[in-house]
Chains A and B, each alone.
Chain A
Amino acid sequence: MNDMRKRHMKQIQTYAFAVKEAVLYLDTHPEDKTALAYFDKYRKLLREATRTYEEHYGPITADGTDTSRGWAWVLEPWPWELDAN
């Protein structure tokens, strides 16, 4: 993976972390308006970053595969590979 791609992946991981934290908090505070707004903000950023990554580099979910470039799902590195990090 090139450096730009790794930077994009790091950005996705950062947004996904914020979303995950909000999800766990909201499970036990489902009426908390500040937490709901925080969740909305980072969910939007995560969705945009994921869409851009999938357009430029490759799928995050099998569902996000652009089939015009073949079945990239198995042609790109898996997350445990050194080169994917």
Chain B
Amino acid sequence: MWIYEKKLQYPVKIKNPNAALAKIIISQLGGPDGELAASTRYLSQRFSMPYREVAGILTDVGTEELAHVEMISTILYQLTRNLTPEEIKKSGFDTYFVDHTTGIYPVAAAGVPFDAKYIGVKGDVFADLNEDLAAEQKARVTYDNLLRLIDDPDVCDPIRFLREREIVHYQRFGDALRISQDKMDEKNFYGWNPSFDKKVH
């Protein structure tokens, strides 16, 4: 279970609304490498993890990703406040506005709604951890791309924080992979799935 804490993980205070920025940043909410996919991926994968340390890192990173969903949603909420119909049309935000007004709905930058196809749960510790390592790098690249397109320091600041977290999570998933490999039988490295098969000696 979870308990809500009434605070952001890192402050978000954007002085100037800018719907054009919201239109691209929304990919880190509902896009293929976004925070919603990240939290769903890790919190789902943990059940089939054979090692408690790995289930632990997936639980705690997955929980932090929920805080990142909240931060991205806050950035979108603050960027789209007090918009006029003219600003909505000029910024290209009109294609989102027509269906969702200024509500927060998970879509990718090109408008494709969030899809569970963005996550993988293979039920195998090595397949799943390698997916997670790639996912953190893909999210980091998305943040790098966003930082190339954003020039408002109020927006760049929380985006840089989120980018750094992808790197830390990558490190921790690397530790989890090392732990899992250390527990494998060196004579039969990928010969059995510790999440499923009973080990026979």
User: Chain B residue with minimal CB distance to A10?
Assistant: B11
Q: Which residue of A lies closest to B76 (CB)?
A: A80
Chain B 66-97 near chain A by CB (<8 Å), digits 1 or 0: 00001001100110010000000000000000
> Are B12 and A80 closer than 8 Å at their CB atoms?
yes
- Judge whether B175 is part of the interface by a CB distance below 8 angstroms: yes
Return the contact of B7 from the options A12, A30, A63, A73 (Cβ within 8 A): A12
A80 touches B57 (CB 8 A): no
User: For B168, what are the chain A residues with a Cβ–Cβ distance below 8 Å?
Assistant: 21, 24
Known: A24-B168, A25-B172, A28-B175. A79 touches B64 (CB 8 A): no
Would you list 29 pairs from A and B whose C-beta atoms are within 8 A, ordered by A residue? A9-B7, A10-B11, A13-B7, A13-B8, A13-B9, A17-B10, A21-B168, A24-B57, A24-B60, A24-B169, A24-B172, A28-B53, A28-B56, A28-B57, A28-B175, A58-B6, A59-B6, A60-B5, A73-B6, A76-B6, A79-B6, A79-B70, A80-B8, A80-B74, A82-B14, A82-B78, A82-B81, A84-B8, A85-B11
Q: Is the interface of A mostly helix, strand, loop or mixed?
A: helix
Nearest residue (CB) in B for A62 is B4
- Chain B interface residues toward A at CB < 8 A: 3-14, 53, 56-57, 60-61, 64, 70, 73-74, 77-78, 81, 168-169, 172, 175-176, 179
With a cutoff of 8 Å between Cβ atoms, the chain B residues found around residue A12 in the complex are 7
Partner of B6, one of A10, A16, A61, A82: A61
CA distance A7 to B60 in the complex (A): 27
* Smallest beta-carbon distance B85→chain A, Å: 22
- Tell me whether A78 and B175 are in contact (CB under 8 A): no
What are the residues of chain A within 8 A of B78 when measuring CB–CB? 80, 82
A58 to B5, CA, bound (A): 12
What chain A residues lie within 8 Å of B60 (beta carbons)?
20, 23-24, 27
A47 at the interface (CB under 8 A from B): no
Contacts of A73 in B (CB 8 A): 6
CA distance A61 to B89 in the complex (A): 40
At the interface, yes or no: A29 with Cβ under 8 Å from chain B? yes
With a cutoff of 8 Å between Cβ atoms, the chain B residues found around residue A59 in the complex are 6
Please report the C-alpha to C-alpha distance between residue A85 and residue B14 in the assembled complex, in whole angstroms: 9
Query: Contacts A80-B70, A80-B74 hold; do A16 and B9 have CB atoms under 8 A apart?
Result: yes
- Bound together, the chains give a CA A29 to CA B57 distance in angstroms of 11
Contacts of B5 in A (CB 8 A): 60-61
